[in-house]
Structures are given as C-alpha cells and as structure tokens.
Amino acid sequence: MQEQPWHLFLDAIPLPMWVLDRETLAFLAVNEPAIRHYGFSRSEFRAMTTRDLCLRVDEEFPKTGTEEPTKGLPGHTIQEHRKKDGCVIEVEMTSSNIHFGGRAARLVVVHDVTQQTRDQRELRQSRERFAKAFQLSPVAITISTLPEGRYVDVNHAFLNIMGYSREAVIGRTVRELGVWVDSGDRAAMVEDLATVGRSTISRTQFRTKSGEIRLTNIFAERVEFEGIPCVLAITQDITEAHRLEEQLRQSQKMQAIGRLASGVAHDFSNMLSVILGYSELLAERNQTGLSGKSVEEIRKAAERAASLTRQLLAFSRQQVLHPKAMNVNHAAESATKMLVPLLGEDIELLVKLDPAAGVVRADAVQIEQVLLNLAINARDAMPRGGRLMIETGNIDLDSPFAELAELHPGPYVVLSISDTGSGMDAETLAHIFEPFFTTKAPGKGTGLGLAIVYACVKQNGGDIWVTSQPGKGTCFKVYLPRIDEEAPLGGEPTTASAQGGSETVLVVEDDESLRALTARVLEANGYVTLQAGDGKQAIEVATSHSGPIDLLVTDVVMPGLDGGELAAVLSAFRPELKLLYVSGYPNQLITYHGALETSIALLEKPFTTQDLLSRVRSVLSNPSFNLPRHA
C-alpha cells in the first residue's frame, strides 16, 4: 500500500490517529486531529516515539499498544498521555497491525476519555456519598413511590424510630403499615409534591409498630428513582423536644405564679399576725358576751386566712414542711369534721376508713388541705346533690400498674375521694392541675385548688390519679408512699405550753404594728423588750443598752441590713445573745445557712401568740441557739 492513500485516510477521520513503527515505536504518520489535540507539530511527532507521550514509561508500556492483537480483533488499551502544554489526558486506544511503507506498523485510533472518566468517577463518588449519608444519617430518611407511598428504601434511623425491621417495610405501603395517623397530612404532602415538587409538613403524627405515637416534622422532595416518581422524605422526630418544651413552659408558668403567690403571702402574713395577735389579746379580756363571740369569730377568720396563706406558700414551694410519720385516717377524720358544715343537705357523705391503712411521712396540715380541696370540688360538681365518698386503704403497686400511673412500684397508702357529680371530659381533664384553670363562673372558682393539691401531693413524695366520665362522676386517688413506722398516737405531739420569762428580748421588725404587737405580747408575759425598726437601729440599741440582752428576735427580710447580716454583726460583741428568726419566706434563710438546719430557730409568719411565746421560751432554754460565729 502506498503512503499517500494512508494520509488521505488518516486526515479524513475526525479522531486523533497515528501509525507507529512496531519495533521502534516511532511515529510514522499522524493525522491533523492528533496534531490539534496534542499540540505537537507533525515534525515534532516525527522526532518522537509513543514512549515520549506516555506518562508512565514502565514495564507495562512495551506490552500496551504493541502486543499482537488477538486474531482479527483490534487491541484495546488505556493510557495516560501528556500533551505538549503539559496537560495529562486519559486515552483509550484501539489499534490494529498494518504494513506501512513496507514496515511492520500499527494503526492507532485515540479516544480521549478524560472527561468521561472524570464524570463517571464523580457520579460514583456522589452515589457513595449519598448512600453513606442516607444510611448513617441520624435523621430518618425514606424513599417511597408516588402517589401510593410504597417504601423503596429507608435508613436505619427510620427503622429505629418506627420499630420495624427493614424487611417489614420495603415493598409495603404507608397505608398498609398505618404510618400516618392523619392521612390528610400525607394527602397535603402529595399535593405539594405534584404542584411545587417539595413539601414541609410540621407536627404530624406517625404511628410506630408498637402503636406509639411520635410527633414528626417531614421535609419531602419529589425525585425520580429508577424512572419511577418517588418522594424522598426526611422525618424529624420531635416528640421528646416537644415534651421538654411543654414541660419548660409549664414550669416557667408555675415559677411565675409561685413568685407572685409568695409575694402576696408575705404581705398577708404580717397583717394576719397583727390581727391574730390583737384578737387573742382582746379575747383574753372579753371571754363572755357578744363582744367575746365577735372577737372569737375575728380570730377564726384570721386563722382561716392564715391557713390560706400557708396554702399559697405550699403551692409556691416556699413553705417549710413539717413531715412526720402520720396516720392518713387521722387527717381524713379531722378534714371530714371541717367538711360536714360545708356540704349541705343534699349530699350524702360516706367515709370508709380502713383501720389497717398504713403510716406515711407527710405534713398533716397539707394532707388535710388536699382532702378539703378535693371534697369541695366534689361538692361543687353535685349542685343537685349526690354521694361523696372518702376512703383510705393500702395498696402495693406492682410495676406495670405503677408505670402506668408514673409511680415507683412499692407500698402506698391510697386516699380516694369520689363523687357522683357532673364528671369531666378529656379536654377538661387535661388541664385541671394547671393554676387558674377553672370551669366555674367568675367569683365561684379560682382554679388554684387542684394546682395546690398537686403541689402538696408532690411535695410529700406522692402522686395523684384521676378518672372521670362526663355525667358519671369523678374519682381522685392520692397515693402516698407507705412507711414502716408507727404514727404517734393522738396526732400532733403537744407543744410546750406557753410560758413567760424575765429575760431581755431585742425585737427587730420593719413592720411597725407587728413589732409593737410582738413587744406587747412579750411584755405581757414578763419579758423586758427593746425594739428596733431595722438593722442599723438594732445595732445602735444593742451598743447603747448597758444591761444584758438575751435574745434577738429578728425578721429575715428587711430594708438595709437583713436579719442574717444583723445577727453576724451582733455576734461580734454580744456572744451570749441567742437568735430567733421570724420570716414569711422561710427559704430566704438558706442564703446564710446553706440549708434549713435544725439548729436554726425560725418562727413562720403569720404566727399566733401561742407560737411566739413557746418559740421564744424554747430558744431561751436551749443552749444550741446561739448566734452564728462568723470568722
């Protein structure tokens, strides 16, 4: 064959081609596209061999491109070549043996596959990346068909949330599995996907294999999967986050109300102490006749108000609890006595106290409050009469039932209050323990009763359980942990009877009328008193007074120096001085003493004459109530 026709042939082909000498690998001929593609001129090619093009001139080279092709079939090789400008390309070469100008030669067609290889590599990498992200993602991801919702692929996170195995999901539809609680939400998503190609569904509910409901956010995108229209959905499980948020909101609300309640209670405490004190003084003088009765009524009302104040403090968790081993039956009996006049004639009261009902450690006053609040609600639910039943008993909660009631398994005393009244629907039931939730007319209900009940029960380590049906009545059960102890017989131990004394007492209180009353009561019982309206005055009084001072009775919260600071200052020069704090906010003492230790004497406002006298006497007689020593 002549050289000329070969040139015509080579130049007619749009792909780079050349002819090599099979022995020397020198270029015998190159075509125009090869010159353009590689950037070498024809004469530069003529001066080179293919080794000069090849990037890796190693042992593989002589074999590639020069070995004898299998009979009748062209040989294929892949090589990396360097162009004149230094750029490296990947080429696929097809070659055949020919005779060229009488030499054993090889005709090579070059196909630059650089871009193609790069594209394939990128595609492969991106597939791998997606597969990894898909499987490892902590967020649930699914691919399902449109519009039917047949699962094509799902990741581990999805299986984890839903509780299914992969086999149970793939090939099944969302409908068969009952995934969407509200099929309307899915319909909305499908509609979005059909119109705009993507969709976000917030707070929809998914049903897991076990029937549990999870709250989720769905971010969906329309995709093609092997030619079929599908939905790629990211499912975010927000159940836990939602629960925490609700809890936080509730506790913030309770905190705010608690702060308000304790502020109000504090101011009331001062006023009630004055009312109680003076009515007691008056009662001592007018024991008979109409004025005696009137004073007694004033005192009773003030005591009720004081107990309400304590309830408010209990609710704001600022009350100092007096938990003691107590018999729930005693509390039930005394609450029942108070209850009878409040019930009216149409309500039948049944009291079934189990004599075997065990002992609990709780604050007796709080347990009475719980009972009264529940019983009064029951009465209000039976405006046309009915039956109110108060029962006590023991119960040993085993684990499944305890879990249901969110209690620890174990022994409990249960106190149940049931009525045959109006009952409640689910919506009402969901809110009853919230402060200020009431269904009663303005002026009739405060919505605080059950909030207080709840706080009291929780403070005493118990829990509360309600069942109610509209029209069928209501039953509240209060569970208090039962302890293995005897309750003191006859309820409250008798308090040391009030005695007077002749010691000198320094009374520090910024509320003038309360200070005057305190001094008056003490003086009436033989004590010598000194008075001060604040800490600064108290220090002046203590320095100028020449005789002994035996006891400092000081309010904790005062403008300027507070009670704790005053005590610290006075301890420096009157080390013999004993200390009794008076406070409407018991927890404020924690600032000075780390915790309410028993060695700190505290008189809670509002207090009665009796409380004041017995506390003063017991502190004076007890050697451990000296002022704190500050370094």
Note the residues at the interface with ligand ADP (CB under 6 A).
377-378, 381, 419, 421-424, 428, 432, 437-440, 445-451, 474
What three-state secondary structure class fits 66?
coil
By CB under 5 A, which span of 122-130, 131-139, 372-380, 462-470 interacts with Mg ion?
Answer: 372-380
Task: Look at residue 501 and give the partner it binds from Mg ion, ligand ADP, none, a contact being a CB closer than 5 to 8 Å depending on partner kind.
Answer: none
Under rule CB under 5 A, how many of the chain's residues touch Mg ion? 2
Least distance between ligand ADP and beta carbon 446 (Å): 4
Q: Enter the DSSP assignment of 440.
A: S
- 449 or 563, CB closer to Mg ion? 449
Task: Look at residue 393 and give the partner it binds from ligand ADP, Mg ion, none, a contact being a CB closer than 5 to 8 Å depending on partner kind.
Answer: none
- 137 or 428, CB closer to ligand ADP? 428
Least distance between ligand ADP and beta carbon 377 (Å): 3
Least distance between ligand ADP and beta carbon 362 (Å): 20
Q: Enter the DSSP assignment of 173.
A: B
- 87 or 342, CB closer to Mg ion? 342
Query: CA 561 to CA 486: how far, in whole Å?
Result: 45
Task: Look at residue 424 and give the partner it binds from Mg ion, ligand ADP, none, a contact being a CB closer than 5 to 8 Å depending on partner kind.
Answer: ligand ADP
Task: Look at residue 446 and give the partner it binds from ligand ADP, Mg ion, none, a contact being a CB closer than 5 to 8 Å depending on partner kind.
Answer: ligand ADP
Least distance between ligand ADP and beta carbon 442 (Å): 11
Q: How far is CA 622 from CA 184, 551, 579, 626, in A?
A: 74, 12, 11, 9
Report the relative pairing of strands 504-508 and 551-555 from DSSP bridges. Answer: parallel
Least distance between Mg ion and beta carbon 216 (Å): 38
- 384 or 444, CB closer to Mg ion? 444
Least distance between ligand ADP and beta carbon 478 (Å): 13
Q: Enter the DSSP assignment of 381.
A: T
- 378 or 530, CB closer to Mg ion? 378
Least distance between ligand ADP and beta carbon 213 (Å): 26
Strand order in the sheet with 213-225: 151-154, 140-145, 228-237, 213-225, 198-207
Query: CA 601 to CA 606: how far, in whole Å?
Result: 15
Contact indicator for 486, 500 with CB cutoff of 8 Å = no
Nearest to 580 by CA among 303, 572, 570: 570
Task: Look at residue 422 and give the partner it binds from ligand ADP, Mg ion, none, a contact being a CB closer than 5 to 8 Å depending on partner kind.
Answer: ligand ADP
Please give the residues from 402 up to 461 whose contact with Mg ion meets the rule CB under 5 A: 449
Query: CA 138 to CA 142: how far, in whole Å?
Result: 12
Least distance between Mg ion and beta carbon 478 (Å): 15
- 261 or 432, CB closer to ligand ADP? 432
377 makes contact with Mg ion (CB under 5 A) = yes
Dihedral of CA 556/269/272/580: which sign?
negative
Number of H helices, E strands in the chain: 22, 22
Contact indicator for 211, 189 with CB cutoff of 8 Å = no
Label each residue of 269-280 as H, E or C.
HHHHHHHHHHHH
584 makes contact with Mg ion (CB under 5 A) = no
Q: How far apart are the first and last CA of the chain?
A: 117
Task: Look at residue 419 and give the partner it binds from Mg ion, ligand ADP, none, a contact being a CB closer than 5 to 8 Å depending on partner kind.
Answer: ligand ADP
Least distance between ligand ADP and beta carbon 455 (Å): 11
Task: Look at residue 525 and give the partner it binds from Mg ion, ligand ADP, none, a contact being a CB closer than 5 to 8 Å depending on partner kind.
Answer: none
Q: How far is CA 297 from CA 1, 282, 291, 359, in A?
A: 137, 12, 10, 35
- 327 or 377, CB closer to Mg ion? 377
Query: CA 390 to CA 414: how far, in whole Å?
Result: 11
Q: How far is CA 274 from CA 419, 607, 608, in A?
A: 40, 9, 9
User: Nearest residue by C-beta to ligand ADP?
Assistant: 449
By CB under 5 A, name the binding residues for Mg ion: 377, 449
